[in-house]
Structure formats: C-alpha cells, structure tokens
Structure 1
Amino acid sequence: MYTIEEHSEIPKNINYQNDLDFSWLRDQGQKYIEDLGRKLWTDYNIHDPGITIMELLCYAITDLGLRINQPIEDLVAMPNNSESQMHEQFKSALKILTCEPVTQDDYRKLFIDIDGVKNVWLIPYNLTMHLECNPEAPKIDFKPIENTIFNTTEFNAKGLYCLLVDYDKKADQVLIDKEIFETYHQNRNLCEDLIEIKKVPQQCISICVQIQLENGADEEWVHAKIQFEIEQYFSPSLPTYSLQQLQEKGLTTDAIFEGPVLTNGFIINEDLEHTQLRKEVRRSDLINIIMKIEGVSLIEEISMDNCPPDTNNPSSDCVPPVTAQSDAWIIHIEENHKPAICDKSTWTYKKGLLPVGINQEKSAVYLTALEATFKSDQKKSYEDLPMPVGNYTGITDYQTIQHDLPENYGISTYGLSDKVPELRKTQAKQLQGYLIFFDQILSVYFSHLGQVKSLLSGDNDLKRYYILNAVDDIQDIETLINDSLIYENNPNLPLEIDADGSTKSLINDLEDFNTKRNQLLDHLLSRFAEVFEDYTSVMYKLFGKNVDDDIIKTKNAFLNQYDVISSQRGLAYNYRLKTETNTPDVWDTNNVSGFQKRIALLSGMADYQRKNLFNNHLRIEKYIRANSEVEYRWLIIDSNQTYLSSRQDFKTKQQAIDNLLIALKYAFDPENFRLLPTSTGTKTFVALTTPQYTSDPDDEHIIGRQYNRYFSNQDNAEAEIKKVLNFIANIQSEEGFYVIENILALPYHIQNIPNTLNDCLPVCVDENCHSCGPLDPFSYQITIVFPGWISRFSNIDFRNYMEALIRRELPAHILPRICWIGHMKGMLDHAEGEPEPPNDMEILQEKWKKFLISKNNKSNNYHASFTTTKELWCAMSHLNTIYGSGTLHYCENEETEENKNRIILNRSSLGSL
C-alpha cells in the first residue's frame, strides 16, 4: 500500500520583523548578558553604561532592519536615479515578456499593425517536388519526371508560405507589399520563408433586400450603416486596445504582452480567432445585422445568391466558386476566399407604402465617415508597464554610535576637556577602541546594502563581494587604527594579494568571490529556468579551476542579453538586410539567427558574428632530418612571428597535434607561462608549462617555448608573455560556427533543377522509393558547421555537450546535421612537392559567403544564382567530421594520459575518442 510522503516547504515569508522590534532586541540582548555574566554583572538598569551601549546597538540594528525592508526599487536607487537607470537594472515587461513572432497569430498581429492592412491570413505555399528513385543518382525536380525506367514519388516542400492580404480601401498595395516583405524578413522564423503576397480573392454575393424604415430615419445614413456592418460581417477589422483597457478586462500581464511588439496598440488572440476567413454566409445573420440598425423597422423581403461572372469586366475582383455548394439560406465560401457584396445587389427602402430613393453620393459620404471613425478608434499606442522609480535615501550612510552616547563618556564630537587627567583620556580612548569593533560590523552591513544593485545584475565590473569601509566620523580615528590598507572598499577591484598570497584586508577569509558569484548568478538564471551546470562541468573537466573567470563572464553575458536571446530564440537571420552603405549585411555581422546567438552565449562564445572561421595560426610542420627520419613540430604563428612552438619534435603527426591541443588547454592560465634561463644563464626565454613544472630545465612538463627570442630585460620579457597571452586569447575568440538553413538553398522554383545540382543533393533512396533519410533535403533541416581543430571543439566531451545543447535548444520540428570539419595547416598528409589537400572549412567558408551575397541581390528577386547554390550544396555534401586518433589497447590496461584515447575492439565507437 502506498503512503503519501509529507514534504516540508520553505515558507514564502521568512521575515518575522524582529529586527525592527527594539524591545525584543533589548530583551534578547539582556538575556545574553544575564547568561554570560550572571555572577559578575548584577545591575541591568538603564543607568548602567553596558546597558546603555547595548540599547544603542539595538537601535542601530533596527535602523539596519528598516533599510533592509525598504522596497527593492529604493535599495537599488542611485543619487541621480531615473527611470532609464531602472530600465538598465531590470528588464521591463515590453522587453522580457514579448517575443518575435512564432505562431501564425503572431505574424497576423505583426502585419495587421501595418497601416493599410485590414486583415491577413498566412497559408502554406504549395510547392510540389518530384523525385526519381534512382539509387545511384536520385533526381529531384519541380516538374514530373517523364521517360524514366525508375519509380517516382513526390513531396511538398514545407516551411514556405503565402500571405493573403485584405487591404484597406484606396491603400497603395505596392508600398504595403514592400513593407510586409521587409517586416517579414526582419522577423522570419528559422527554416521558413515567405514566397508571395496575394490580395485575398473575393467571392461576391448578391443581396436583394426590401426594408421598411421608420418615419424619421435618415435613409442615406441607414443604407451606409447597413453596407458598413455587412462588410464587417464578411471581413471584420480587428479591434486594438490600450494597456489600460486590457487591464480593465482582467488580462494578466503575461497575457497582455504575449507575442511581438506592435505600434498601434494591442491585439488579443481571441479577436484573431473571430476574424478568420469566413467559411459560410447565413441569411439569418444578415437579418440580425440589418434589424439591429437604428431606423430599420422591418425587413419585408431578403434573398442572397452567388454573384454571376461579370463577362463585361475581366478585371473584376470577384471570383466565382468552384467547389463550394450553396442554397437559399447558406452560401458556402470557397477555401481561402472572403465574401464581398456584389455590385449587382439591390437595396429597396420604404417608409409606409411609399418607396424611398437613396442619394448614393450622400450615402457614400456617410460610409466614408463611418469607416474613418472606426479606423481612428483603432489608433492606440503600444505602452510598456511603468517602471517603478525608487527614492535614493543614502542607504549606505552610517554614523558611529559613539556620538549618541552621553557626553560625559568623553567620546562625542566634542571629546574631553584638556583639563581632565590623562587616565580619563586613556579610559575614553579604550572605550572608543572597544566600540569601534561594533561600529565596524555595522558599517560593513550598511555598506553591503549598496551592493544589492550589482549583485542583482550581470555586472562584469564586480570583482569581489565583501568591502570594508572605515567609520570616518570618529574623532582621532588615526590614533585607533594605524594601517588604512585594511580598508579595501572598491568592489570593482580585486583584493590586493601580497607576494606570499596574503592580504591585509580584515575580511579576506570571508571572500570566495568565484564561488559566491557563481551561486548568485545561478540563482538569477534559475528565475528564467536556465541552467549552466553542464557547461560548467565540461569547462572544469577541460581546463580545471582556471576557467572560473570565463564561466562568470559567460553567465554575465547571457544574463545581460537575455531579453534578446529569449525573444529571438526562433528567429532566423535577415538575408535581405543591407548595411548603411547599401552592401549586403551578411558577413562580419551580428545579423545571425536568434538560435545561433543563444547557442553561442550558452557555450561561452561572446562573439556570435558570421565571420571567417578558417585561419593559418595553428600549424603542423614536417622536418626531414639528415638521417632521412621524418619528425613533426607544432607552431602557433602569424605572418610576423612564431609565438610558440613545441619543445620537442614528434615521430608522428598525431602526436604533434595532441601535444598542441594540450598546449592550448594550458595556455588559458597566465601562471603556466614562465621565463626560463638560457644555458648560459645570461638571458631568459618564454616557455609554456603544466602546473606540475619543477625547476629542472629538462622537465617533461615544459610543453612549448619560443626560439630565437631571448631577453636580458625583465620588463621586455614580461611584456612578451602578455603579447603571447593576448594572441592565443584572440585565437580562442575565433571560435564560431555556421548555421545553414537548407530551405534557403532551394533552387528558384520557376526553373528546372539540373543534374549537376542533383549530384550534390543529400538524397538517399532505393528503387522502391524507400529512404534511408529524409526524401526532402530542404524542409526544416539545418546544417551546423564547427571548425573541428580548435582547442575546445577538438575535445570529444565538449563536442558531446555542444551537440546535446543544440538538440535541446533547436525547435523540435527542425532536423540538424552537425559537422566538425577542417584542419590546421600541415595536418593532412600529401606527397612531397604537391599542394596540401583542400581544407573543408576553407572551401565551405568561401562558398557560403558567395551564396549569401548572391541571395542578398535584389535584382535577382532575392534568389541566389544557380552557380552559387550548386557550389554551396556541393561543399556541404563533402563535409566530413574529423575525430581524434586512437590506439588499440588490451582491456585490462589502465587508462593513463598516454593512452586515454584507447580503442577496445567491440566496445569503442567512432566519436567516443
């Protein structure tokens, strides 16, 4: 039998206000005194100096408690506090609750917000593609494949859309379509694209009605009102709301700010549901609409039918139904059409027995006025929730309690008279020394209240938690404290550490900045359900504790940009974007997908630009010795200087590569760089070592060093170390990756697909059209490419982390192909005198850039040329992930650093090295 396990919970309110209760504090203090000094202290009356001091301390604690309990906006307020500063401290509702469009409703809101657009509907664009199931050379085309001996099949490309637009009357459709395209591509979803914009086709309905009006009715106004209401019934306009209106409707803040940021007020999803394309028109609905209009007395007769084709006007917007069946009471509307009033409709009005004529011009003026009034009512502003602005109260200010004691104690601002004995002065000074201990504790508490602003943010300038301010309003404090260096009160500066690792700060033992900062950042990130545990674990495993600073910077960067990467997590890049100089903004740019930004920040890549990822800074060089033996050496180099090279030569190329990766691992830590003496001892050179290095010049823990660069000046040598560190840091910052959306490389669908492109398309199929992968190589697929030779990217643990991260963060309907490609210069074998084999990353980088520039070409209607499309697909089809090498070992062999990449038959799998 199951039993219910009771769980204890942390109460929401854990503040019992005891810190504000002076009487309670005084009673508790006296109780402690009674317990500690019962036999020595018998006078607990108010005149006792010890009780007086205790009461002052209790009062100071209530002051501290009062400040702690101030509203958070007051705790983080600054002297020149303003709303803009609060927006820097906290994310407003408009920034953190909204998101770029994801759903169809989101896109409808975005386009309806454009002036001149009454309503829009997003529908899939039907693009059928045909596949010839030739196992040796499968072929895809936009037209049916004829005269073939192989089976054929077909599929529809997914992620392509058509936009049906209901324009306002007299709207400039050309300008509106241009703005819609620009807006869409600024907010395009990953692996999706907008193919065309069409005016929604109309199915015109002829209405014949005879209406009895009230005697005092204005027949022209009634006619205009009927026209207006029926048009709204056929194709309603969406109402917009102000922030106050939605709050009055009872909507919660997260519901109000759901979806994209608009310009002309808020649109709610419920109204979008009610304004879908109508599927039928009911005569009973028309009767209800007409009868509700003021001035209508009776409907004597009403009928409706589909409007016959207008053979005299071939440019008419009316499209006769093809499949929709209708009757006298219900007219069914063709799919993706909207009903409209046919110009052959008849409207007859009567007052009593007499017919009433309608002045059509006057009625048209009324109709225009009704439409203008309705449109003006929809002009709202999209407001943000007001950011509370705090009051700066000098929350960190602290005044010594010594000045609140009676003046006869001799420690007030006035001090003692010069006439009192030295003993009396000494006693007063002793009391000051005794009380400064309590003063200092209280001063530290008050000072740390000023740290709340930094602690609750991703502040990269924060270097430590604990600060120590001097109580500077004590008279003659310099006679009590003779070392002002114990006060280190700048939180943006780390503690000054002496050569022996110690510091003079009184609170050094409390400071564990990295641990505490990570804990608080984890807390702030958990408020957004974000976790960095896996990233932290893999970084510690790769580089040890030396990456604490990098982990903190990664979390800070992620937290500071969270409004962007959370709202844009499904956003693709804008392939139509131009720079200020009207050049394609596709390279060396932050114009990348929100998914790429998010993955980069989650993995510690602060720079997520699309840029060159191939470089020649890391090299493996081959040497043929006098005895014809071949050896290899690694170098870290640029065009001007060799910054480091391996200390020894290696028998195999893989040994040199492995040693280079170890060097890059230890090059993170400046403490691993040392100045070692030359054999003569007159000069020094820069060397990279492991932390286990000893002073032996032949130590095996020397990994790399500089040759032909020796220093006799200590300052020059240390400057060289900084130069090497900066260069290697720049190499590491060249981390990055490409995200290629396969759908964007879809050939222009007006043309056929030549066989030369089919040769490069990744299609795997047998003669029965059974596939070993997706038949459609374009829809909802992306190719993600990393430079596989870089330090972190060459490590299998980091690769596993990245691949798991990508699959977790990528929308579930998108299939990724992840490649770790390329090599450093000299890594691949080649015959003497022949050029080195082509580098996959170098080739892909070139073809991807050319494709993006071609895709950005407006004159080609933003379709990449066939040549650049083919070259990109061919480059992608030849990508091969590179892995580290392994060696065969017996199962019982212990895994050591030398054989950690061991391969065990029937156990090891490719990718586990």
Structure 2
Amino acid sequence: MSKTISKKRHGDNPNSFEHLYQLGLTYIQQLSGHIWTDYNTHDPGMTILEQVCYTLTDLIYRCEFDVADYLSDTSGNIDYPAHGLALAQDIIPACPQQPEEYEAWLLTRLPELDKVWFRWSENAPGLGIYTINAQLNHFYALSQYRSDAGSHSFYTQQHAALSHIRREFYRVRAPGEDLADIALTGQRPLTLTATIHISDDVTDVTWLTANLYHRISLWLESTVQNTPVYVVKEALLAEDGIQQIGQLQFTQYNDNAGHSTPIPVENIAPFSYLKLPESAADSGIEIIQFQHPVNIDYADLAIQLEQIQYLRRAERLNTTNAPILPAGRYFDFSRYESIQTLFPRNYHLAPGIPNHYNAQQQAQRHQLRGFLLLFDQLMANFCDDIAGLNTLFSLSLDSEATYHTHLLQDDEFHNIDQHYPQNARARLEHLRKKFDDYPERKNRIFNYFLALYSERFPDFLHRQFNPYFSAEEVEKQLLKYKQAFILNITTMTNGRGLGDNLLQPEHQGGYSQRLSLLIGLFPHALSPLGYTHAITQHALDLVPNEPWCQSDIGKKIVQLLPPEILASLQPVADNNTQEGVDEEQARKMKLAMPLFSAQTLPDVLLQLGIDNRRYRLLHRAEHSDYQLFFNASGEDPQQWLYIASHNNKQQLTQFCHQLQRWLIQLNQNSEGLYIVEPILLRTEENNASWRDYANRVTVVFPGYTARFSNLKFREQVEQLVIENSPAHLLVQCQWLDFSAFSQFETLYTRWRQAKSRALQRRENQPECDAIAKQLYPLIQPPQDATNEALKI
C-alpha cells in the first residue's frame, strides 16, 4: 500500500492545535470582546495564545504514552510488586479445595509421586478429615536412591515421600481440614527376567530397552486385579521393534530391598512395580540383535528412563510457560523548556540583554517575561506531575504529595531568579499543600488497586471506630492498612482460604492474615509470648473495674469529689503530639503513679484512659501544686481516680499526655486474633463426637481493649468475619476477658508446638491430646459450655 496523507480533518481532534486555538479565541471574545476587537495575527495576545496552544499540544503528547512507559525506571524495567501488580503465575493458580484438586497439586509439586488418591477418612466421611494414598514413581531420580545401602536407601525414600506429602498438604490446607493418615501403595517390587529378540533395524537399543521398562511400569500401574504374566508378554509383542520373546518371568521378594528368597510370580498382584537393575550384572533382561546379545549401558538406561518420565509428567500436568511481562521505555517527562524560546525575535525574549535597549524597553521585557512565567510555571508543574505518575501509582508512602511543583532553573527560564520571590521553593510547596489532599487522593488510588482484584477495604469500620487516632491520622492509617493488603495481595486473595500450617507453630495462614488486616491488625508471625505480653511485660495484671475499686489500692485511689471541688477542676490541654513511649518512660511512669503500686491495672483506665476529655487538673493553692484526676465512670461523674501530682502544671499536662500515649500502645499491642479449628482438637477418645467438631471455626479475640470492648464494634467485626469466611463453615467469635484470654493463649501456644511435634513423630500425640482436652472448653460459646456441663 502506498503512503498517503489522511483526508481526516485534524481540526476535529479536540486536542489539536487548531481546536485549542479556536477555543482560546472564543474565550477571549466572550470575556473581553467589548473592549478588544483587534484579532489580527500581529496582535501580541494572539501570539501568546498561539505559543501556549502549541505548548499544550506538547503536554498532551506527553500524556499519550503507554502505561508501561510511565511506570518504567531508567532501564525500562517495571517494579511490578512496588506498583501493586501481582504476577499471573502467582495469583491466578487457585489453591486446591476438592479432593481431585489436592491430587493434582501433590502430583505437580512432588515428582517422586506417580499417583495420588485423596479420600475422606472412613471414620469421618464429610467432616474435613482426609486420608492420602500415594504411589511412588520408582523410576524418578534413580541415581539418588542407588547405593550399597539397599534396604536403608529404600526406606529413606519412603520416609522422605511421606514427609513431602505432609508438608505440601499442610501448606495449602483449608480451615476446618486435617489429615488422618498417609499410606504408600504399590510397594510390591518385581524383577524381570526375559530374553527379547529385537529387529535388526533398531538403531538405539538403550532407548528401546528404556521404553520397554516404561511400558511395563505403565501396565503394572493400571492393573486393579491379579493378572496372568502372559498378558504382559502379549502386550510387549505388540510393541514396534520386538520380534520374539523367548522367556518372560517376574520374580517377587518378601522384602522391599530384594534381599530375600525370590519367588516366581504367575499372577501379578495390583500395586506392583518393576525394579530397575542397578548394574548389568543384576539384569535379567537379555536383548538379542543380529543373533548376538547386546551390551547395555545401565547408566545411560537410567538417564533415558528419567527423560521419558519427565516428558510423560509434563504432558500429564500440561505445564505452560509464564507469560512475558511488558517492559516500557524511559522518558524524562519532567524536562521542560520555556515557551519564551518559541516567541519571534522581535519580542526580545531570548537570553541576554542587548546594549542598545533603553531602560523602558528592559522594563517592558521584564514585565512580559513575568506575565509569561505564570504559564511556564503551570506547565512545568504539569510536567513534574506526569513524571511523578511512577510514584503516584505505586505503593510508596514516602512522598506525601500527589501534585508537584517545578522549581524552574536558569537553563529552563533565563534569569529566573529575577522573577522568583525569596524562598520560592517553600512558597510553591505551601501553595501546593493548599490544594493537595494527599490522604484522600492516595486512598482513591489504593482503592483502584484493590478494585483490580475485586477487593474493597472496610474504610467505614475504621472511620467509625477509631479511639486511637484523630480523623486525620485515621486516613493515614488506612493508607498503611491498604498498602500492606496490596503488598500481600496474593496471600489476601489467592490464599484467603488457607489455614495455618500446623507444621510451623508460629505460622498464620492466609485466612487469618486477611481477617487481621481487615480489622486493622497488621499480620505477623505468632509470638510465643502472645498478646497478653503487652501488659504482663510491665508486671501488671489487668483486672475488672469493680473488684479493683473494692481492693485496698482501689479504695485509696478512687475518690468521690464534692461539688465545690468538681467546680474548680480544669480541663487538660489537647494532646497534639504522637510520639511513642519507650520502655524507660513507661517504667518511670509506673513508679510515679500510686495507682500501679499493687501491680494491677483497672480495665476502665485501659479502655477509657486514652480519652483526653476524661482528665482534669485541680490546682491546690495551699500546697502550691496540681493534681491530675481521671473520670472513671460516665454514670457517676463524682467517682475519680487520682493519677499524679506536680508543682508544674505544664509538666503534669505533659505527663498526662504521655500516659494516654502509653495506654494507646498497650491497647494496640494487646489486640490480635487466633483462629481455632475444633476439628484439630479431636482425640481418639472422643472419636464418636467428631461430628460436633467438624466444619466449625472459632475466632478468639481479647475483649478487654478500648476498641474490642465496644459492643457495636464487635457486631461489625463478627459480620466482617462471616463475610470473609468459607461459606460451609460455622464461624463463631469469642471475646475473652484478660484472665480467660491469658489462659487460652498459654494453652493454644503449647498446643501448636505439641501439634507440630505430633505430626512429625507419632509418639508425641498423647501430649498434644492432653493439651487439646484443656483447650477445647475455652473456645466454647456460653450455651455450648452449659450443655457440656449438663452432659457431665
């Protein structure tokens, strides 16, 4: 096809120079047509309009690059995780849920397996408890298992296979599922003795022999009943290159190592497999070609067998290569050149000052340059905005700016210092902040990232229940939650149905991590010290308010202030700082407060002490000091807790703010959750009642923090947990007080460690069962606990 000029009218393009120029001319006529009627091309205003429209087309051109170009670095590569983009091979493959999916999963990841049968446990059909039967691929990695150890090598292979199966299952198991047993089938080894005559035109005898072994192994795998040996012989005779079989005999040994007395086999039993000889001396196969025996290199034979097995496995699993990721081209979009360089020479805007210009001309030139600077600044800012798209559409929270200001340099705008005011950078930044609502705009971008994966974060929950943050801080905290969610998007979406890996006591599965982050708890590995450690590390015991008030220390601290004292109480100044409290500051604070002399902390102070409005200062002129009080009850405003005193009001106020920040840290560090699956707590003794344990999940929360003690917040959280849980599971939430949660946490940590040991060594199972019996009653709802008591 010959190259031609398109007949399309470019003026129809709303972004073309002609359209922009006409649009600008229309605005000029509307705004100033009654005083300005000269629209000739020699008019300076028209010249300025032309230059601005031309520059706008350049900015439009910069906005029409491929998305990959905006996201690429200087080398043209794209940091996909940094931009919240998960790779297809990571996020698209679904985790197994059905038995046949588990079978495919194990076969894909464990090449030593040839077949897998995933079934419900016979003792508990439909209860989420499975048994696995697997058949080893005895031709896999033959060189790994050849040794003089014989039997030891074989049993090492079996033990390793069982460990690998267990590891892969617990890595992807769903909540409410467990493994009852793993068994290896196909453990009847057979050796082959045969004299096979092959065709003279066979060129690769080793490959033919390897193919014969492979064919026989496939046939043995397919047998489901006792089959006569002659059937195998007839099948082999049908293979290409086989002319005659003089002798064909299978021999079986009583032990898997093949060291016992050989027994000839007339009928082959199911789950038998063919042993490959380790050397030519052990071979019972004799290949005849050209009327003479053929020597076979058995090392080469093993290699050929592995290649055949690899091709067969790749065909069965239908493996595909990962797609090629797009790459971009790097452009310096922030590069800017002033529009003044485009003006005709008679405007005298070029760099330098001719000597023959008089002062008035210089002033007019300076005035025109200052007027054009407004356009230059706006367009230069826009260029920086385009260059900043890489950072804007990323997960980075380092730069709290979504708009940008470009500080023009002398090579971009000649003698710019003559036109910029002092502290131009600071003034431009101050102006930007007036229009740049960073948390709101960045939140919208993060919501877009989440929408790419059909996800939505519960902003309403955190905005409605935020006792630890101000309204502005909540928006920034939401950004951190969403950043963590998108950074772990594969776990949060693809792995949201995964339970804890029981082989690793500190592991949290995708289901637990997703719930934690949605509720506002950053997911992390379970600490052996637990969530109660946040309080106990300070040698404190959290007690209910009423018992604490009746205790000796409570009677000293709780005061009923008379009306005349109440009238003289002064509010505490607002806390505008957000600095944390370190361990040394917390220790000094404890020593300075009589309230902590008995090593107890009333829950009312933990839950309500974070509110600055509940504190009051009392000035005692006779003692020349100030006292700090805390309103412990909204219903009885006369009940106050004495906190501390000081002769300096400002320092006592600072102490009050420190106390509030410390209590906020205690609350935040105490909040967490545990996912308990009752089916995992079953024991052999309660085998008959396994159905009561099945298809249930209990989410255990500490119910004593400021946020978690809010009943309305609990309702919202329970609904959120149900919405993000597998539909077939009955999900129950337990909110425990400090004493019950401490007991639960101690037992649960011990049980996770005992469960891990029991899965690896059966002799540790009694210890695990003993802990499970103590743990199970603690996760029962009140009505279930009552029923259990009635049964007893």
Gaps of 5+ in 2: 1-10, 146-156, 259-266, 278-283, 561-580, 596-601, 784-792
Secondary structure of 2:499's counterpart equals coil
Alignment partner of 1:436 is 2:436: no
Say whether the 8 Å CA contact 1:821–1:880 is kept in structure 2: no
Say whether the 8 Å CA contact 1:855–1:863 is kept in structure 2: no
Partner of 2:400: 463
The number of equivalent residue pairs is: 691
Match of 2:348 among 403, 410, 425: 410
Secondary structure of 1:424's counterpart equals helix
Partner of 1:545: 471
Measured in 1, the distance between the counterparts of 2:682 and 2:294 equals 53
Query: Which has the larger displacement, 359-368 or 507-516?
Result: 359-368
Q: Relative to 1, partners in 2 of residues 1:787 and 1:205: Cα closer, same or farther, differing over 3 Å?
A: same
Partner of 2:363: 426
Measured in 1, the distance between the counterparts of 2:402 and 2:61 equals 22
Alignment partner of 1:370 is 2:304: yes
Measured in 1, the distance between the counterparts of 2:436 and 2:643 equals 41
**Which runs of structure 2 are paired with 1:56-71 in the superposition (5 Å)?**
56-71=51-66
Measured in 1, the distance between the counterparts of 2:405 and 2:782 equals 53
Partner of 2:389: 452
Match of 1:519 among 444, 455, 459: 444
Partner of 1:796: 711
Measured in 2, the distance between the counterparts of 1:95 and 1:744 equals 29
Q: Relative to 1, partners in 2 of residues 1:878 and 1:35: Cα closer, same or farther, differing over 3 Å?
A: closer
Measured in 2, the distance between the counterparts of 1:225 and 1:375 equals 10
Write 1 or 2 for the structure with the bigger share of helix. Answer: 2
Measured in 2, the distance between the counterparts of 1:157 and 1:597 equals 24
Q: Relative to 1, partners in 2 of residues 1:426 and 1:216: Cα closer, same or farther, differing over 3 Å?
A: closer
Say whether the 8 Å CA contact 1:205–1:339 is kept in structure 2: yes
Q: Relative to 1, partners in 2 of residues 1:632 and 1:110: Cα closer, same or farther, differing over 3 Å?
A: farther
Partner of 2:216: 231
Say whether the 8 Å CA contact 1:234–1:278 is kept in structure 2: no
Measured in 1, the distance between the counterparts of 2:745 and 2:176 equals 20
Describe the superposition over 1:521-563 as per-residue Cα deviations: whole angstroms up to 9, x where unpaired.
2222111111224x52463256583532222222222122212
Partner of 1:173: 158
Match of 2:725 among 781, 790, 810: 810
Partner of 2:421: 482
Say whether the 8 Å CA contact 1:57–1:401 is kept in structure 2: yes
Say whether the 8 Å CA contact 1:467–1:488 is kept in structure 2: no
Say whether the 8 Å CA contact 2:191–2:276 is kept in structure 1: yes
Q: Relative to 1, partners in 2 of residues 1:43 and 1:118: Cα closer, same or farther, differing over 3 Å?
A: same
Partner of 2:619: 678
Secondary structure of 2:735's counterpart equals strand
**Which runs of structure 2 are paired with 1:500-899 in the superposition (5 Å)?**
505-533=430-458, 535-537=459-461, 539-540=463-464, 543=467, 545=471, 547-577=474-504, 586=505, 589=506, 591-611=507-527, 612-614=530-532, 615=535, 616=540, 618-619=542-543, 620=545, 621-623=548-550, 641-642=589-590, 661-664=607-610, 666=611, 678-680=619-621, 707-710=643-646, 712=648, 714=650, 718=654, 721-722=657-658, 724-747=660-683, 749=684, 753=685, 776-823=691-738, 839-857=739-757, 861=761, 865-867=765-767, 869-879=769-779
| One-letter amino acid of the structure 1 residue matched with residue 307 of structure 2 | T
Say whether the 8 Å CA contact 2:78–2:327 is kept in structure 1: no
Secondary structure of 1:459's counterpart equals coil
Say whether the 8 Å CA contact 1:558–1:601 is kept in structure 2: yes
Secondary structure of 2:431's counterpart equals coil
Cα drift, residue 357 of structure 1: 7.3
Describe the superposition over 1:353-375 as per-residue Cα deviations: whole angstroms up to 9, x where unpaired.
xxx97848649778545314324
Describe the superposition over 1:582-612 as per-residue Cα deviations: whole angstroms up to 9, x where unpaired.
xxxx3xx4x2122111100111111444242
Cα drift, residue 393 of structure 1: 1.7
Cα drift, residue 872 of structure 1: 3.7
Secondary structure of 1:27's counterpart equals helix
Measured in 2, the distance between the counterparts of 1:49 and 1:576 equals 79
Alignment partner of 1:164 is 2:134: yes
Describe the superposition over 1:739-792 as per-residue Cα deviations: whole angstroms up to 9, x where unpaired.
123333233x5xxx2xxxx6xx9x9xxxxxxxxxx7523434333211111122
Measured in 1, the distance between the counterparts of 2:330 and 2:707 equals 46
**Which runs of structure 2 are paired with 1:89-488 in the superposition (5 Å)?**
89=83, 90-98=85-93, 100-104=95-99, 107-108=102-103, 110-112=105-107, 117-124=112-119, 126=121, 128=123, 158-169=128-139, 170=142, 171=145, 172-201=157-186, 216-217=201-202, 224=209, 227-228=212-213, 230-231=215-216, 233-234=218-219, 293-295=239-241, 313-315=253-255, 337=271, 359=293, 362=296, 368=302, 370-375=304-309, 384-414=322-352, 416-473=353-410, 474-484=413-423, 487=426
Say whether the 8 Å CA contact 1:743–1:781 is kept in structure 2: yes
Q: Relative to 1, partners in 2 of residues 1:687 and 1:418: Cα closer, same or farther, differing over 3 Å?
A: farther
Query: Which has the larger displacement, 677-686 or 479-488?
Result: 677-686
Q: Relative to 1, partners in 2 of residues 1:623 and 1:175: Cα closer, same or farther, differing over 3 Å?
A: closer
Cα drift, residue 210 of structure 1: 12
Q: Relative to 1, partners in 2 of residues 1:88 and 1:624: Cα closer, same or farther, differing over 3 Å?
A: closer
Measured in 2, the distance between the counterparts of 1:702 and 1:197 equals 67
The percent identity for this pair of structures is 17
What TM-score, normalized by structure 1, do the two folds share?
0.63
Q: Relative to 1, partners in 2 of residues 1:549 and 1:117: Cα closer, same or farther, differing over 3 Å?
A: same
Say whether the 8 Å CA contact 1:788–1:881 is kept in structure 2: no
What TM-score, normalized by structure 2, do the two folds share?
0.72
Cα drift, residue 394 of structure 1: 1.4
Q: Relative to 1, partners in 2 of residues 1:179 and 1:283: Cα closer, same or farther, differing over 3 Å?
A: closer
Say whether the 8 Å CA contact 1:736–1:787 is kept in structure 2: yes
Measured in 2, the distance between the counterparts of 1:378 and 1:122 equals 19
Say whether the 8 Å CA contact 1:613–1:735 is kept in structure 2: yes
Measured in 2, the distance between the counterparts of 1:569 and 1:397 equals 44
Cα drift, residue 520 of structure 1: 2.4
Q: Relative to 1, partners in 2 of residues 1:216 and 1:422: Cα closer, same or farther, differing over 3 Å?
A: closer
Cα drift, residue 508 of structure 1: 4.5
Say whether the 8 Å CA contact 1:682–1:712 is kept in structure 2: no
Query: Which has the larger displacement, 357-366 or 852-861?
Result: 357-366
Q: Relative to 1, partners in 2 of residues 1:452 and 1:203: Cα closer, same or farther, differing over 3 Å?
A: same
Gaps of 5+ in 1: 1-15, 130-154, 237-275, 319-330, 491-504, 578-585, 648-655, 691-697, 764-773, 824-838, 884-913
Measured in 2, the distance between the counterparts of 1:489 and 1:790 equals 44
Measured in 1, the distance between the counterparts of 2:708 and 2:754 equals 30
Cα drift, residue 431 of structure 1: 1.4
| One-letter amino acid of the structure 1 residue matched with residue 82 of structure 2 | E
Match of 2:82 among 74, 80, 88: 88
Q: Relative to 1, partners in 2 of residues 1:164 and 1:348: Cα closer, same or farther, differing over 3 Å?
A: same
Say whether the 8 Å CA contact 1:227–1:367 is kept in structure 2: no
Measured in 1, the distance between the counterparts of 2:354 and 2:122 equals 99
Q: Relative to 1, partners in 2 of residues 1:286 and 1:718: Cα closer, same or farther, differing over 3 Å?
A: same
Describe the superposition over 1:210-242 as per-residue Cα deviations: whole angstroms up to 9, x where unpaired.
999756457966962662452364378xxxxxx
What's the Cα RMSD here? 5.2
Secondary structure of 1:571's counterpart equals coil
